[in-house]
Chains A and B, each alone.
Chain A
Amino acid sequence: MSNWLNGAVARAESVSDWLAPKRQASLALLREAQWPTRKTEAWKYIPINVWDRTELQSDAVEVNAVAESIEGLNSIDLVFVNGELTSDLNDELPAGLSIVSLADASADAQSWAAETFASVKPSRHLFGLVNDVLATQGVLIDVAAEAVIEQPIRIVNVLTQDSEAHTRVLVRLGQNAKASVVEQFCGNQRSKNTGFAEYKVGESARLEHYRFALQTGESLSIGGSHFELATRAELNSTLVGFGSTLQRVDVDVTHAGEHAFAKLNAIYLLDGKELFDLHSTIEHAVPHGTTEENVRGIVADNSRAVFNGRIHIHRDAQKTLAELNNRNLLMSDRAEIDTKPELEIYADDVRCAHGATIAEIDKTALYYLQSRGVSRSQAQIMLNFGFINELVDEMPNDVLAEWLRPQLRDRFAAMEVK
């Protein structure tokens, strides 16, 4: 058992708010839960004990951190510093959009949010349960039916030295609604946080989603984005992850209504001694769903990437189309990639496929660039960038893609060239 978890359970007992019934249920599960070991399949490759071992100084200095805005994005920014919402929610919002603080929710928001809370995110995730019982801060975003919100909604979590934070995001899109949500995590100092988000995407609604898990250094971060798609709902999600001492992200999609479409792209770029663990489960519970999942990673130096991608086609989910592709470049003989694409299929009239490759950088392409005068190190950066850029190009928001590219380039430039 973990001291940290015992402490978390004890802290949770004093949490009391409008989510109490939901939190109690999760707390009961948490009390029964086992701390993961290497034998726990969901944590097989990641030494979770670092979470337990890492001590935070309790007299952490208050820091007035701010989140930089993204130029040209014109987003509605919701900023959490060390788990505290610092943005003013009183600004006028576009018609059809309501954003309230979890800590300060109106009765209206409480009713839909209580229903959504812990209903999309599966209860099997230990740290999801931790977030259920400890996340007293968060936002509730409600997009009314037929509302088309052009401005992206950006939720930024900034973590500073020795902070511990648990934040929760609940999002509801009504019928035919359209919105774009960016979850961004930053900080490179020793800290612990869990950040989970649950999305209910209504009938024929369209959600554009980004999760930028850009914490690095000594930060420990565990979180997830979980989606439930109603009939003909569309999800286009991009995850970008840098590694740190511990990073674990779960992206789960449930096709709850027929003819829904999910496009999931994910990128991870690791260097130094970083870890990044991405788990993704796609539940096709009903017929006629489509999922396209593309995951690419570059793993350099002493780092380690883990990918577990599961597609589960339920008994009745006939006519499902689901494809998952995971491609990795291994840059060093001290780095490691562990990938496990899984198919679990209980319906016969479906088209499912997955593929996974691990290789090094394409030597022929490297030579081709060199033969045109480009240095080996620059050629390597170009090829790495190209490998990832195919997915960056697919991001529907060009401003975000432009914002991301120089950061990716900096990462590649820092990667040790062998």
Chain B
Amino acid sequence: MTEQIEKALQREYEAGFVSDIESDTFEPGLNEDIIRRISAMKEEPEWMLEWRLKAYRSWLEMDEPEWAHVHYPEIDFQSISYYSAPKSMKDKPKSLDEVDPELLKTYEKLGIPLHEQMMLAGVAVDAVFDSVSVVTTFRDKLEEAGVIFCPISEAVHKYPELVKKYLGSVVPQRDNYYAALNCAVFTDGSFVYIPKGTKCPMELSTYFRINEQNTGQFERTLIIADEGSHVSYLEGCTAPQRDENQLHAAVVELVALDDAEIKYSTVQNWYPGDENGKGGIYNFVTKRGICHTNAKISWTQVETGSAVTWKYPSCILKGDNSIGEFYSVALTRGAQQADTGTKMIHLGKNTKSTIISKGISAGKSNNSYRGLVRMNPGAAGARNFTQCDSLLIGDKCGAHTFPYVESRNPTAIVEHEATTSKVSDDQMFLCQQRGLDPEKAVSMIVNGFCKEVFKELPMEFAVEAGKLLEISLEGSVG
């Protein structure tokens, strides 16, 4: 029975193709000169370069974290190229018509058409290809509402005050090894600013694509929701199928000012490597948001890709009555390893957090939830509820739960629960006896297991997530 289930979960990595695009790629290596060259390519002001160099010098003194439940060979940071951009992007195309058709074809193949007339209505996309942003759609429409949505490299020039004020304000440069590295070498990513009292008129989305060989992608995203504003943001990612491992070390910072709300959804589908663990992306990501008074940040993630995932989208609940949420589905197969979870740091009074984590392990994979809930002395009346469920498929995988719960306020209430289960033979038999094939049966069971998380995804993404898990989402969305 297990074999049938595993077969049902196997699928081709459809985004594994390589685009034939001529690129300007730096030679591998990391030193201050490389950082100066990245900064020069982006024509950055001096303060930005200084900021990068400071981070680089910190990074040199830091150690790679070893506490996660993942194993991989030592990364040679000198063998990675830290910048790669399609040649055609050098002239900075002014409109979509000037963009290399091969690039547009790549996104089309990935199901992300960048021509506005072809696009999903209501979703603005920033498409990042290796180290540069190719195009950001629907900008005019967003500008009408006062919403800024542009590549972060552009924001450094156009909105230096906002960038200076908030960049590194949620994730300090020295926060961790990969965050420091990102600060030094980040190349592109998205910048979002929602003005006071504004409800962003459409979903914002960034699609990250790694194409070039031996490169790392170090994207940086900064989202600022001003007082009383509201935004929903989606992130997707894919990479070609290669035998070598590639590094993706992103930093995402969210700032939700008083009464603001940010919903951040991710469908992560980096190349996971083959069944034996050859190739795949190392996904070492730092994501964190800060909530001011009455603000809310909601993280939803569907993690299906990457050879190794190390990722803890977190909330600092600084303001009174602020709310943090984390909804996660992590599916690991083959030799994948995921160590993911969240941190909820309760500082303000009556702050609330909810954590729902669903881990599905199959094959020889290892899937860990790692979380921290901290009630600081000021968090009077705060509340947390955490539910971590693991589903094991087969007897060669691992499912682990490492929750840290720390409380220093007697009026705060923390509740943590974790369970583990399997797709039982009885469930499979029942489905099959009712005429379902094993694939459909597994789909249904896994879908049911993930339901609480899927219902948090925006409609467009829910469909994509469903496709990724090869399961029908009928009845669980909307």
Could you tell me which A residues sit within 8 Å of B by CB distance?
A: 41, 315, 318, 328, 330-360, 418
Nearest Cβ distance between residue A254 and chain B, in whole angstroms?
19
Contact between chains at A349 and B422 (CB < 8 Å): yes
Q: Which residues of B contact A347 (CB under 8 A)?
A: 392, 395
- With known contacts A336-B406, A336-B408, A346-B398, A356–B414 Cβ distance under 8 A: yes
Could you tell me which B residues sit within 8 Å of A by CB distance?
A: 2, 67, 375, 377, 390, 392-422
Contact between chains at A356 and B403 (CB < 8 Å): yes
- With known contacts A41-B67, A333-B377, A341-B403, A355–B417 Cβ distance under 8 A: yes
Contact between chains at B404 and A348 (CB < 8 Å): no
- Name 16 A/B residue pairs within 8 A (Cβ), A-sorted: A328-B407, A332-B410, A333-B408, A341-B401, A342-B401, A342-B402, A342-B403, A343-B420, A347-B392, A348-B397, A350-B420, A355-B417, A356-B416, A357-B416, A358-B375, A360-B411
Q: A-B pairs with the 3 shortest C-beta distances?
A: A348-B392, A343-B401, A330-B410
Residue of A nearest to B421 (CB): A351
Bound complex: CA of A347 vs CA of B394, how far in Å?
8
Residue of A nearest to B370 (CB): A342
Q: Which residues of B contact A345 (CB under 8 A)?
A: 390, 392, 398-400, 420
Q: Which residues of B contact A349 (CB under 8 A)?
A: 395, 422
Nearest Cβ distance between residue B431 and chain A, in whole angstroms?
18
Bound complex: CA of A338 vs CA of B410, how far in Å?
13
Contact between chains at B413 and A358 (CB < 8 Å): yes
Q: Which of A336, A340, A356 contacts B402 (CB 8 A)?
A: A340
Q: Which residues of B contact A360 (CB under 8 A)?
A: 410-411, 413
Nearest Cβ distance between residue A272 and chain B, in whole angstroms?
16
Bound complex: CA of A386 vs CA of B341, how far in Å?
35
Q: Which residues of B contact A418 (CB under 8 A)?
A: 410
Contact between chains at B415 and A357 (CB < 8 Å): yes
Bound complex: CA of A56 vs CA of B401, how far in Å?
41
Bound complex: CA of A351 vs CA of B400, how far in Å?
13
Q: Which residues of B contact A341 (CB under 8 A)?
A: 401, 403, 416, 418
Bound complex: CA of A418 vs CA of B411, how far in Å?
12
- Other contacts beyond A337-B406, A341-B416, A355-B418: 8, CB < 8 A: A41-B67, A332-B410, A334-B377, A341-B403, A342-B403, A343-B420, A349-B422, A356-B414
- With known contacts A330-B410, A348-B422, A353–B402 Cβ distance under 8 A: no
Bound complex: CA of A335 vs CA of B393, how far in Å?
42
Nearest Cβ distance between residue A340 and chain B, in whole angstroms?
5
Nearest Cβ distance between residue A264 and chain B, in whole angstroms?
18
Bound complex: CA of A356 vs CA of B396, how far in Å?
28
- With known contacts A343-B401, A345-B392, A345-B400, A330–B409 Cβ distance under 8 A: yes
Contact between chains at B408 and A348 (CB < 8 Å): no
Residue of A nearest to B390 (CB): A345
Bound complex: CA of A328 vs CA of B394, how far in Å?
36
Contact between chains at B413 and A359 (CB < 8 Å): yes
Q: Which residues of B contact A328 (CB under 8 A)?
A: 407
Contact between chains at A331 and B420 (CB < 8 Å): no
Bound complex: CA of A392 vs CA of B375, how far in Å?
30
Nearest Cβ distance between residue A387 and chain B, in whole angstroms?
14
Q: Which residues of A contact B406 (CB under 8 A)?
A: 336-339
Contact between chains at A337 and B67 (CB < 8 Å): no
Q: Which residues of A contact B396 (CB under 8 A)?
A: 315
Q: Which residues of A contact B415 (CB under 8 A)?
A: 355-357
